[in-house]
Amino acid sequence: MAITYYMLQIPPGLFFTLITLLSGAFAAFATFLFRKYVRLKILRSHNEVTGFLFLSIASFYALLLSFVVLVVWDQLNETRGNVSKEGSSAMGLYRDIKFYPDTVESKQLMAIYLDFVYNVVDDEFPNMEQMKLSRKTPESFDKVFYKMEHLNPKNQYQIQLVAEMFNHLNELSIYRGLRTTSMETEISPPMWLPMILGAIITVICAMLMDIEHTRMHIALNALLGIFIGMFFFLIIMLDHPYSGSQGIKPKSYKQIFTLEQWSGELKSMNGSTK
């Protein structure tokens, strides 16, 4: 499991403060040590060349970080879209089963379907938050398919309803598959290597600049480190769509439970008035 997952267990505000302060402190401390112990007489005479080199490296590094942020942002939006479509299909299937005319078969199918919904909410999403796969949910989902395949529609209207239910069920299966596979799209450790190495090289180039005032040099490099830390914060937050306090939640599936609860309360109220 990636170390970035454990970072996401920290509250976002505190995590942002820590990563920016640590990166800024690292750049400031490295600059302090460099100014104190390294004496290079050629720095001032080569300041123009060093400045051009620093500008080039910093520009390319900023481009790299911007590209990574855009990629993970696009992946997050795509994942949110697939989860939203999955929720819409799940809600549509719930309504199809709810209003299926044959009460005996519809009640049996509804019980199996609600068991699947329960497993998605209480087992699959919590496991995905920990970057694990659920074992119970695929089994309960297969039971929904099995039960629906054994429905016995008695007229043309029921045949059309069953066809509509299968349509929603197949859509649900597709988007659920996309959701589970999106859990594996995190940035791999080898991909982090050039980003971290690029940050170190950029800070080193900034240290080679010959700035007369030591405190000003340290402060500027600390700001550079903070800026890099802000990019790292964005990348880590966007890279795990299901983890942390900002992770994607099964809102549509929970809404199905709410509708089922309201339906039960309405039936009990109608029964009491009779």
Q: Looking at the domain assignment, is residue 265 inside a domain? A: no
At residue 4, the pLDDT reads 75
Mean pLDDT calculated for residue range 254-267: 68
**145 domain residue, yes or no:** yes
Tally of domains in the chain: 1
Q: Is the residue at 91 inside a domain?
A: yes
For residue 270, tell me if it sits in a domain: no
Residue with more model confidence, 32 or 185: 32
Per-residue model confidence as pLDDT tens digits over 5-62: 778 788 888 999 999 999 999 999 999 998 888 776 655 556 666 677 788 888 899 8
Tell me the pLDDT tens digit for each residue of 92-143: 999 888 888 877 888 888 899 999 999 998 888 888 887 788 888 999 999 9
Task: Grade residue 196 by pLDDT with cuts at 50, 70 and 90.
Answer: very high
The mean pLDDT value for 244-254 works out to 81
Is 142 among the domain residues?
yes
Whether 273 maps to a domain, the answer reads no
One-letter identity of residue 26: F
- Domain annotation covers residue 131: yes
Range of the domain at 20: 3-259
Mean pLDDT of the region 161-184: 88
Which residues are CB-contacts of 211 (< 8 A; sequence separation ≥ 6)?
217, 220
pLDDT bracket for residue 261 (50, 70, 90) = confident
Domain assignment present for 66: yes
